[in-house]
Structure formats: C-alpha cells, structure tokens
Amino acid sequence: MRFDPDQTRFGSGFGGLKFKIVPKGGYGSFSALKRALGPAGEGRHWHHIVEQSKVGQFGAEAIHHVDNVISIPAPIHHRITGFYNSIQDFTNGQTVRQWLNGQSFEFQREFGMDILRRFGAL
C-alpha cells in the first residue's frame, strides 16, 4: 500500500512492517483538538463519544478525533457523565464506564451515540 497525503493514512506493507492508521482529523491530545476546533460554544462542552479514558485502548488520535467529539449543552454533558459513573441493571454490578472496558471502538461509539440520543443531545 502507499501513503495517501490527502487522507493521512499509512498502509501495511513495506516488507511486512505494520503502520498505525491515523485518520485525518485525529490529534495527539484533547488540548490540541480543542485548539483546532475552538470553543464548544456558550453553555456547551466538548463531549467524547468514545470516552477519553480509552486513549490507552484505542490511541489518542482515535479518541481525540473530530469524528469522536461533539458540542453538547453543559447540563446534558453532566447528566451523561453521571450515567457513565452509575451502575445500571445491564452492567452486572459495575459502573457503565467499567462495563464498557474491553468493548470494541465500534461498540463503544454506537453505545455513545445511543446515549446522546437518549439524553436529548442529538
């Protein structure tokens, strides 16, 4: 495969070496992402769809990516944070945050989008 500067992607190849795919729009830190995006807006917060705490699992560029953050009203952000810190019937005695550990990025993203819909952010 070859380098595509428009997509900022590396393929796997080059004598069997593997390269991490870094999608265009991914940043190494939340601070860098916020500098690029600017403020979330009056009374709003930037919300990670797949949580910031998953940087170790998925990498900073995937977590701090323009497709993984959304500006939402601060009160909704606080309610969602409370939900992730709560124990629910489906979490087997764990917090929602703990229950999500080990799930795929895709699962966590779909779950996060569903939560945004349920809490009225979408």
CA-to-CA separations, 18 to 15, 56, 68, 107, in angstroms, rounded:
9, 19, 24, 24
Higher-confidence residue of 10 and 66: namely 66
Q: Do 28 and 64 touch, CB atoms closer than 8 A?
A: yes
pLDDT at 1: 35
Query: What is the mean pLDDT of the segment spanning 39-58?
Result: 94
* Lowest mean per-residue pLDDT among 15-29, 42-56, 62-76, 94-108: 15-29
Q: How many CB atoms lie within 10 A of CB 21?
A: 15
pLDDT at 6: 40
Q: List, in sequence order, every beta strand (DSSP E) within 1-122.
A: 44-48, 69-73
Q: In angstroms, rounded to a whole number, what is the distance separating the alpha carbons of residues 90 and 115? A: 14
Q: In angstroms, rounded to a whole number, what is the distance separating the alpha carbons of residues 40 and 28? A: 19
> What pTM does this model have?
0.76
**pLDDT grade for 24, boundaries at 50, 70 and 90:** low
Q: pLDDT of 65-114, one tens digit each?
A: 999 999 999 999 999 999 999 999 999 999 999 999 989 999 999 999 99
Radius of gyration of the chain (CA): 16
